[in-house]
Amino acid sequence: MKPNDKTEKKQGIICLYLKLVRCI
C-alpha cells in the first residue's frame, strides 16, 4: 500500500462531497 493512497482517498471523498453540495 502506498502512503499517497490514503491522501488520494481523502481527496476523493472531499471531491465527492463538494460535487454533492454543488448538485444540491
pTM of the model: 0.39
- What is the predicted pLDDT for the residue at 23? 59
- What is the predicted pLDDT for the residue at 1? 52
Question: Which grid coordinates are listed for 18?
Answer: 463538494
Q: What is the Cα–Cα distance from 9 to 24, expressed in whole angstroms?
A: 23
Q: Cβ neighbours of residue 5 under 8 Å, at least 6 residues apart?
A: none
- What is the predicted pLDDT for the residue at 18? 83
CB atoms within 10 A of CB 3: 6
pLDDT per residue over 1-24, tens digit each? 576 667 777 888 887 888 877 755
Phi-psi sector, 16: left (phi>0), alpha (psi -120 to 50), beta: alpha
